[in-house]
Structure 1
Amino acid sequence: MGSGQKVAIITGASGGIGGALVAAYRGLGYAVTATDRAAPVSGDSGVLSVAADVTEAGAGDRVVGATLERFGRVDTLVNGAGVFVSKPFVEYTDEDFELVVGVNVRGFFEVTRSVIAAMISREGEGGGHVVNISSTLVENADAAVSGALTSLTKGGLNGVTKSLAIEYATRGVRVNAVSLGVIRTPMHPTDPGGFQAARHPVGRMGEVDDVLRAVLYLEQAPFVTGEISHVDGGQSAGH
Structure 2
Amino acid sequence: MHSTKKVAIVTGASQGIGAAVVTAYRKLGYAVVANSRSIHPSDDPEILAVPGDLARRGTGAQVVERALARFGRIDTLVNNAGIFIGKPFTDYTDADYDAVTGINLYGFFDISRSAVAAMLAHGNGGHLVNVSSSLADYADSQVPSALASLTKGGLSAVTKALAIEYATRGIRANAVALGVIRTPMHPPETHEALDGLHPIGRMGEIDDVVEAIVYLEQAQFVTGEILHVDGGQSAGH
TM norm structure 2: 0.97
What residue in structure 2 maps to residue 181 of structure 1?
A: 179
Deviations 1:60-90 (A, max 9, x none): 2211111111111000000010000011100
What residue in structure 2 maps to residue 143 of structure 1?
A: 141
What residue in structure 2 maps to residue 236 of structure 1?
A: 234
Counting only pairs closer than 5 Å after superposition, residues 12-31 of structure 1 correspond to structure 2 as 12-31=12-31
**SS of alignment partner, residue 8 of structure 2:** strand
Cα distance in 2 between the residues matched to 1:195 and 1:87: 16
**SS of alignment partner, residue 57 of structure 2:** coil
Q: How far did residue 15 of structure 1 move?
A: 2.7
Size of the aligned set, in residue pairs, is 237
What residue in structure 1 maps to residue 127 of structure 2?
A: 129
What residue in structure 2 maps to residue 36 of structure 1?
A: 36
- Unmatched runs of 5 consecutive residues or more in structure 2: none
Cα distance in 2 between the residues matched to 1:190 and 1:24: 26
AA at the equivalent of 1:101: T
- Residue 153 of structure 1, aligned match among 145, 151, 154: 151
What residue in structure 1 maps to residue 100 of structure 2?
A: 100
Cα distance in 1 between the residues matched to 2:189 and 2:230: 16
Cα distance in 1 between the residues matched to 2:167 and 2:215: 19
Counting only pairs closer than 5 Å after superposition, residues 49-68 of structure 1 correspond to structure 2 as 49-68=49-68
Residues 5 and 31, structure 1, Cα contact 8 Å, conserved in 2: yes
What residue in structure 1 maps to residue 115 of structure 2?
A: 115
Cα distance in 2 between the residues matched to 1:195 and 1:229: 24
- Unmatched runs of 5 consecutive residues or more in structure 1: none
Cα distance in 1 between the residues matched to 2:38 and 2:189: 28
Deviations 1:78-113 (A, max 9, x none): 001000001110010000000000000000001000
Residues 34 and 40, structure 1, Cα contact 8 Å, conserved in 2: no
Cα distance in 2 between the residues matched to 1:100 and 1:212: 23
Deviations 1:127-176 (A, max 9, x none): 10000000000111111111100000000000000000000000000000
What residue in structure 2 maps to residue 75 of structure 1?
A: 75
AA at the equivalent of 1:30: Y
